Amino acid sequence: MAPSTERAATDRPYPKTCAACGGEIDVRTGAVATDLRGLTIQVDGVEHGRCRGCGEVYLTLAAANAVQLEAARRLRRARGLLAPDEIRAIRASLGLSQAAFERLLGTGPKTLVRWEKGTVFQSATADRLMRLIAARPELAALLERDEGDSAP
Ligand SMILES: [Zn+2]
């Protein structure tokens, strides 16, 4: 693969000059740091623009998403939490839609979508609740009934 620094200037998805200091921006592939849940995580091998003057990093939307995914994946693994495909499998075993599983767990809307995409991950509490439901599927019926009782 050709070094990204050989890319024609017209191809680059980064600004020519830094918005913060006006410095020149180099295109390079290397480590990019991202903050997640109060931790700074370094992700290697990311193409990005970096200001020669102040070091400001510029990422394409695709690269920013990839960095976010990788950081979430690492932190999730380090904490021993269920992986996106495991969550999907639990939900599928219950025959529930994402919205129905969200109601069951008491999370906000679109939360399951993000957990299953891997862009964000569940709390330890939500993780344990999902493991309990996976081990004892009858708990899902119990929670659904409680939810029905509290409905207006
Ligand atoms: Zn700069």
Reference 131, options 105, 98, 102, 151; nearest CA is: 105
Q: Which residues contact 4 (CB under 8 A, 6 or more apart)?
A: 27, 28, 29, 47
Q: pLDDT of 45-95, one tens digit each?
A: 999 999 999 999 999 999 999 999 999 999 999 999 999 999 999 999 999
Centre of ligand 1 from the C-alpha of residue 37, in Å: 26
Reference 130, options 117, 146, 143; nearest CA is: 143
Question: What is the structure's pLDDT at 9?
Answer: 45
Question: What is the structure's pLDDT at 148?
Answer: 53
Centre of ligand 1 from the C-alpha of residue 18, in Å: 5
Q: pLDDT of 4-56, one tens digit each?
A: 444 444 567 999 999 999 999 999 999 999 998 889 999 999 999 999 999 99
Centre of ligand 1 from the C-alpha of residue 50, in Å: 8
pTM over 0.85: no
Centre of ligand 1 from the C-alpha of residue 102, in Å: 43
Centre of ligand 1 from the C-alpha of residue 17, in Å: 8
Centre of ligand 1 from the C-alpha of residue 95, in Å: 51
Q: In the chain, what are the domains? A: 10-60 (3.10.20.860), 84-147 (1.10.260.40)
Task: Please report which residue ranges of 37-137 form alpha helices under DSSP H.
Answer: 61-78, 84-94, 98-105, 111-117, 124-135
